[in-house]
Structure 1
Amino acid sequence: MSIETLAETARAMVAAGKGILAIDESTSTLARRFEGVGIANNEGNRRAYRELLLTTPRLDQYISGAILYDETIRQSTREGVPFARFMADNGILPGIKVDKGTQPLAGCPGEVVTEGLDGLRPRLEEYYKLGARFAKWRAVIHIGDDIPSGTCIEANSHALARFAALCQEQGLVPMVEPEVLMDGAHDIETSYEVHEVVLRSLFDALYQHNVALEGTILKASMVLPGKDSGEAASVEEVAEATLMCLKSTVPAILPGIVFLSGGQDDEAATAHLDAMNRMGPHPWPLSFSYGRAMQSAAMKIWSQDLAGNVGKAQETVFARARDNGLAVRGKWGAAA
């Protein structure tokens, strides 16, 4: 796979006014969300829920791609069309989560490292054959007393870089996600400092592993105060801090940055993205790759009547996609 083809796919992922739908929750994570709204967790309901999301009418107006879970990329619509083929036929790039989740980092209490590099090459090869054109790996960085440590940051950056190099080898655009968690009592200044160190480490590792940045997408967390800090940062403060951090760490050659919602509610995630884009232009497109912030309202509606509320739930999915598509253009605030 040529770098030019990877770069073309990466640019399509951050096409103007579009973002990425994150529906890559593991079976256990989706089970907790289903339980919260009273939906039975079985393969049929998981398939039906993912179909509801992916078959939302006109979704491609605001969604360029969707990150799937291993189970989902092997499933099909009720008519028997594999999800990945349905997506491709409807202008949405299929993506896949490939990491195996976090485990405690030995020797570093309170910190974790993402696993899943063993056997990754053949898995990526299979996912490409199943229709995936990009892949995602999530690292998790905690802020607390004396953490994150340099060891934790370096270990996760190394894993992200190895993942990215293997993706490009197999013709997949890597989406690297170094999430700095909102959990904790830290202030926004501490969040900024940690984000800066993490991103510098990440791009250094990508360089060391010969990853072509023009065929890579960054999935970033926003610079926010810890949710237990008691600190209230304005939308503008968060936008300014996040932009300053990105501009000091992220090379301009990167095709684009998509943000995770990271536990923010629907409106806050959209408002922060909108504010950043109103402060543009920037070296790269700033878009979204939201999960809960795109789905939570639709899941509640669907849970009330799994057979009868599909259309109503899809209307909510489309509305959230439209709102965030406006935010990508910096036009949500004016429309809200």
Structure 2
Amino acid sequence: MANADQISKITSGKGFIAALDQSGGSSPKALAQYGIEPSAYSSDEEMFDLIHAMRARIVSSPAFTGDRVVGAILFEQTMEREIGGKPSGAALWEDNGVVPFLKVDKGLEDAANGVQLMKPMPGLDDMCKRAVAAGIFGTKMRAVVGAADAKGIDAIIAQQFEIGAQIASHGLMPILEPEVTISIADKAKAEAMLRDAVMRHLDALPKGEQVMLKITLPEEANHYAPVVDHPAMMRVVALSGGYDLTEANDRLARNRGIIASFSRALTAGLTAQQSEAEFDAALDRTIQCIYDASVAG
């Protein structure tokens, strides 16, 4: 179970949540951005070794501390490995003061009604038990909204809250992530539908229960203010979603009460070829600007 210090850090801590949860599908892109091309590895095992080395380098950097990073989302294989001789979750909290989360979804279904629901997760209860044993505070699971389709958006939010309740029954804090694709023409309309659906489900939660929400940065500043202020919402965080770091930070700073949970934007500018001093300096600059945008609202 989460301790009071972790709850306080996530509820009111200043900073952002680092998304270090690239899975098998997104790892090649993350490695290429990091300066490691596919020709450098010949198996999934080698690929995951390289991605873990990248994550461990980030977490072990003096720039990566709980002073500016309140939480970090891990991939399952990262949770099961060690950083600095400790299980990754323990290393994050005990050495860095960073609250650990775990990505639990197994990818996306084919598109229907303008959205992509999450694939079934038959092993979810077992994963949650292992997460609790590994000192994980909460989870994250992603679905995708590709159109302002009320039926599809209602289905996504219903699925997120239903599985969120299953996760919460293990004593974990679920981050619900209905990502809105940034390139769609009806993004603002989809966001209006999404906010209203989330509010209906928040209102229906039993008193005292809470969830977290990870959203695409909206077209209208403070669009999600009612969600941020809802007593059933522990914290709202935002993904970079394909916006570059500058635009993501600009959009984030305009939204009160929302903090970052960036992945690609966090690791942009980091390469395997950098010296430790160069790497730490680049990471420090990125962390500082994401922190500044997160606390601006």
| TM-score, length of structure 2 as denominator length | 0.87
**Structure 2 residues without counterparts, runs of 5 or longer:** 42-46
Contact preservation (8 Å) 1:98, 1:116: no
Q: Does 1:219 align with 2:214?
A: yes
Contact preservation (8 Å) 2:142, 2:177: yes
Tell me the amino acid that sits aligned with residue 178 of structure 1. Answer: P
- CA shift at 1:72, angstroms? 0.7
- CA shift at 1:20, angstroms? 0.2
CA distance in 2, matches of 1:32, 1:133: 27
Residue from 320, 331, 336 that aligns with 2:286: 320
- CA shift at 1:118, angstroms? 2.5
Contact preservation (8 Å) 2:202, 2:230: no
Secondary structure of 1:27 counterpart: coil
Q: Residues 292 and 98 of structure 1: is their aligned pair in 2 closer, same or farther, counting only changes over 3 Å? A: same
CA distance in 1, matches of 2:189, 2:113: 21
Give the alignment of 1:288-327 within 5 angstroms: 288-298=260-270, 301-302=271-272, 304=273, 309-327=275-293
Contact preservation (8 Å) 2:114, 2:152: no
257-266 or 39-48, larger mean C-alpha shift: 39-48
For 1:260, the equivalent position in structure 2 comes to: 239
Tell me the amino acid that sits aligned with residue 296 of structure 2. Answer: G
CA distance in 2, matches of 1:211, 1:56: 40
- CA shift at 1:209, angstroms? 5.7
CA distance in 1, matches of 2:199, 2:277: 43
Identity %: 21
- CA shift at 1:64, angstroms? 0.7
Q: Does 1:92 align with 2:98?
A: yes
CA distance in 2, matches of 1:16, 1:169: 25
Tell me the amino acid that sits aligned with residue 297 of structure 1. Answer: G
Secondary structure of 1:220 counterpart: strand
CA offsets 1:278-308 (integer angstroms, 9 cap, x no match): xxxxxxx32110111111211xx32x35xxx
Residue from 180, 197, 200 that aligns with 1:201: 197
Q: Residues 175 and 92 of structure 1: is their aligned pair in 2 closer, same or farther, counting only changes over 3 Å? A: same
Secondary structure of 1:138 counterpart: strand
Contact preservation (8 Å) 1:21, 1:290: yes
Contact preservation (8 Å) 2:31, 2:51: no
Secondary structure of 1:259 counterpart: strand
For 2:110, the equivalent position in structure 1 comes to: 104
For 2:74, the equivalent position in structure 1 comes to: 68
| TM-score, length of structure 1 as denominator length | 0.77
8-17 or 318-327, larger mean C-alpha shift: 8-17
Tell me the amino acid that sits aligned with residue 218 of structure 1. Answer: L
- CA shift at 1:122, angstroms? 2.2
RMSD: 2.4
Tell me the amino acid that sits aligned with residue 60 of structure 2. Answer: T
Tell me the amino acid that sits aligned with residue 261 of structure 2. Answer: S
For 1:53, the equivalent position in structure 2 comes to: 58
- CA shift at 1:250, angstroms? 5.1
Tell me the amino acid that sits aligned with residue 9 of structure 2. Answer: A
For 2:170, the equivalent position in structure 1 comes to: 170
Larger radius of gyration: 1
Q: Residues 311 and 166 of structure 1: is their aligned pair in 2 closer, same or farther, counting only changes over 3 Å? A: farther
- CA shift at 1:206, angstroms? 4.6
CA offsets 1:70-103 (integer angstroms, 9 cap, x no match): 11111112x4221111111121111100011111
Give the alignment of 1:111-190 within 5 angstroms: 111-143=115-147, 148-184=148-184, 186=185, 190=186
Secondary structure of 1:276 counterpart: coil
Give the alignment of 1:238-253 within 5 angstroms: 241-243=220-222, 245-248=223-226, 251-253=229-231
Give the alignment of 1:263-278 within 5 angstroms: 263-277=242-256
Q: Residues 8 and 204 of structure 1: is their aligned pair in 2 closer, same or farther, counting only changes over 3 Å? A: farther
116-125 or 54-63, larger mean C-alpha shift: 116-125
CA offsets 1:193-246 (integer angstroms, 9 cap, x no match): 211211221332355464855x3221111223xxxxxxxxxxxxxxxx131x21
CA distance in 2, matches of 1:271, 1:14: 23
Contact preservation (8 Å) 2:109, 2:116: yes
CA distance in 2, matches of 1:13, 1:164: 17
Q: Does 1:26 align with 2:23?
A: yes
- CA shift at 1:10, angstroms? 4.5
**How many pairs are equivalent?**
286
Tell me the amino acid that sits aligned with residue 99 of structure 1. Answer: D
Contact preservation (8 Å) 1:104, 1:112: yes
- CA shift at 1:247, angstroms? 2.7
